Amino acid sequence: MTGTRTPRRWLDRLEGGFDLIFTPRHNPLNQLGALGWFFYWIVLVTGIYLYIFFDTGLRDAYESLERITHVQWFAGGVMRSLHRYASDALVLVMVVHVMREWVLGRFRGARWFAWVSGVPLLWFVYASGISGYWMVWDQLAQYIAIATTEWLDALPFFGEPIARNFLRDGTLSGRFFTLMVFIHIGVPLFLMFLMWVHIQRHMSPRVNPPRGLAVGILLVLVLLSLIKPALSQAPADLGVVPAVIGFDWFYLPAYPLLEKISGLSLWGILVFGSLFMLCFPWIGRIRRQPVAVVDLDNCNGCGRCVQDCPFSALTLEPRQDGLPFSHQVEVKSALCMSCGICAGACPTATPFRRSKALTPGIDMPHRPLQEILGQSVAATAVLTGEDRVLVYLCDAGPKLADVIADSGVAVVCLPCVAMLPPPFMDYLLSRDHVDGIFLAGCRQGDCHFRLGLEWTEQRIARERDPMLRRRVQRERIGHAWVGCAHDVQLQAQLADFRAGLPHRRGEPPAKGVAPESSEPVTEDAGHV
């Protein structure tokens, strides 16, 4: 999917290790975006608290922060430290989040929107943090004020250099300071709006980390705040040049460059860097697969596919074709990632139907369900033994189709395991095509199509439509969510699953038990 194979393997190893330590659900690397939101909320709440006790004004600002830090160290002091450290943590998780999405190639196709809307987030996060340090009006603030205004003066926008505002204490006006307070409140609020835009195209976006992880992280941040409270440096004095400055390297890494290259060059690097980043989704080899297609004759407008599409690519619209249903589904092709999860959700995607061909309400033109069913039946026809297993392998998951060489195992690939409608499993098991079905997908907690594993588990657990029928023995369905680099692990889990399969002997054949089971469509399509 990307040209970043090696980093991808490293990332997979690292995440595998974190899965063992934290469990997949609490693995922070699966929660970077959600952690970004979490840190944002901490910064917002602590910021409101600080603002209550903060005095605007050149001398008052510094003094009020000293009071907050030292007089009420147990409350305001901790709040101030949390405000600083959560802001730093936001930068850290954001940078790792960007690198991760890049390594995993999750900026291509319809995902361009999240990527492109992410780039301005970088600017707004930095602007928020830098303007925050300004408010303290200590030596660091003095340096930032002078360096930033000198840097802005490199642009041909200002008649008189704005750095002149910070020439000496006599020229410094409190009004400029009020402007900074305004910026430090306005920019982060606008950031929140942009963060909201950023996740607009995601169905149930992950914006809250699991409680255990959130509590744990909050605790260690509080611990850090108590051990190393955030402090001001010496108060600003424009008559004295700040020499050795305590420096926040999360927010200010670009500033030292201003002593090496011209301000205009630094603007150039950052602006062109951002523009280049904006182009990422359209650079390089792009293979766009066909998008989902609706077959209105078979769609009853139930909306299950709409609820399951992870990329909000489906909408329910008023019925247009005269059939007696209130709604029909429509595909917004620009948003579709071709995962097939919608086909797996459709109640009409069942092999137990009277009609001749398997024609679901929604399907993937490049991998129609009819073809998948045909392949499944054909592949299982040659299996022998008491523990015949059909493995459904997701394209983004482990690569092992050629590793498995066993007369009892067949493999069929799918774009995502969640494309498999639960009635397929019922059908293959109840018609004795196989003894077990094994689903192999992405690493748990990190489905390439976001929600595929979750929906699959819920359908099998009979918590989500379309549910697996009760008559299917749960022990006959296994899974390994291990990701692309773990074929050994997958084989081990598959072996365990096969060893645990219950014996069939003496079981009544399911045929005739199921009320709706008439002639299955693919009994004659078995040759496909």
Partner 1 sequence: MFRALRYSLQAAIALLFVALIGYFSDSPPYIYHDARMALVKLSFSHASQRAVECRRRSAEELAQLAPNMRIAMDCPRQRVVARVELYLDEKLLFAGDMPPGGIAGDGAGSVYQRFVVLPGRYLVTARLRDSARSEGFDYENSKLVELRSRQNFVVDFRAETGGFQFF
Return the number of the residue (113 or 255) whose C-beta is nearest partner 1.
255
For residue 450, the minimal CB distance to partner 1 (Å) is 25
At 43 the three-state DSSP class reads helix
Quickly tell me which residue has 């991808």 as its tokens. 8
Answer yes or no whether residue 329 interacts with ligand SF4 by CB under 6 A.
yes
Tell me how many residues contact partner 1 (CB under 8 A): 47
450 binds, among partner 1, ligand HEM, ligand SF4, none (CB under 5 to 8 A by kind): ligand HEM
**Which is nearer to ligand HEM, 273 or 365 (by Cβ)?**
273
Binding mask 151-180 for partner 1 (x = CB under 8 A): --x-----xxx-xx--xx-x----------
Query: Minimum distance between the CB of residue 162 and partner 1, rounded to whole angstroms?
Result: 10
- CB closer to ligand HEM out of 104 and 329: 104
| Bridge partner list, 327 | 318
Contacts of 178 (CB under 8 A, 6+ apart): 56
- Say whether residue 138 binds partner 1 (CB under 8 A): no
445 contacts: CB under 8 Å, gap ≥ 6: 19, 24, 25, 27, 30, 453, 481
Strand partners, 318: 327
Q: Yes or no: say if 351 and 424 are a contact pair by the CB < 8 Å rule.
A: yes
Nearest partner of 66 among 312, 257, 259, 230, judged by Cα: 230
- In the DSSP assignment, the letter for residue 235 is B
d(CA 305, CA 314): 7
Do the Cβ atoms of 411 and 378 come closer than 8 Å? Answer: no
The answer to whether the CB of 465 falls within 8 A of the CB of 502 is: no
Tell me which DSSP letter residue 469 carries: P
Binding mask 241-280 for partner 1 (x = CB under 8 A): xxxxxxxxxx-x--xx--x---------------------
Rule CB under 8 A: say whether 5 interacts with partner 1.
no
Name the residue nearer to ligand HEM (CB basis): 136 or 442. 442
The whole-angstrom separation of Cα 423 and Cα 468 is: 7
**What's the closest the beta carbon of residue 246 comes to partner 1, in angstroms?**
4
Q: Which is nearer to partner 1, 264 or 357 (CB)?
A: 264
Which C-beta is closer to ligand HEM: that of 36 or that of 452? 36
Residue in the block written with tokens 């005739």: 512
Contact of residue 186 among ligand SF4, partner 1, ligand HEM, none (CB under 5-8 Å per partner type): none
Cα–Cα distance, 438 to 420 (Å, whole number)? 12
Please report how close the Cβ of residue 115 comes to ligand HEM at its closest, in angstroms: 4
Reported residue count of the chain is 528
Interacting residues with ligand HEM between 494 and 513 (CB under 6 A): none
Residue type, 77: G
Torsion on CA atoms 28, 34, 36, 41, rounded to nearest 10 = -120
Q: How far apart are CA 226 and CA 77, in angstroms?
A: 9
- 341 makes contact with ligand SF4 (CB under 6 A): yes
CA angle 349–354–360, rounded 5-degree value? 20
Binding to ligand HEM, residues 98-137 (CB under 6 A): 98, 101, 106-107, 111, 114-115, 118-119, 121-122, 125
* 202: contact with ligand HEM by CB under 6 A: yes
Using CB distances below 5 to 8 A depending on partner kind, what does residue 209 bind out of ligand HEM, partner 1, ligand SF4, none? none
Which does residue 97 touch among ligand HEM, ligand SF4, partner 1, none (CB within 5 to 8 A, set by kind)?
ligand HEM
d(CA 430, CA 159): 81
The contacts of residue 380 (CB under 8 Å, 6+ apart) are 388, 390, 410, 428, 433, 434
Number of residues that bind ligand HEM (CB under 6 A): 26
Residue 314 binding partner per list partner 1, ligand SF4, ligand HEM, none, with a CB distance cut-off of 5 to 8 Å that depends on partner kind? ligand SF4
Nearer residue to ligand SF4 within complex by CB, 82 or 343: 343
- Residue 441 binds to ligand SF4 (criterion: CB under 6 A): no
13, 449, 453 from 18: Cα distances, Å: 9, 21, 19
Minimal CB distance to ligand SF4: which residue?
A: 361
- Residue 396 lies near ligand SF4 (rule: CB under 6 A): no
Summarize as ranges the residues that interact with partner 1 (CB under 8 A): 18, 20-22, 84-85, 88-89, 92, 143, 147, 150, 153, 159-161, 163-164, 167-168, 170, 216-217, 220-221, 223-224, 227-228, 230, 238-250, 252, 255-256, 259
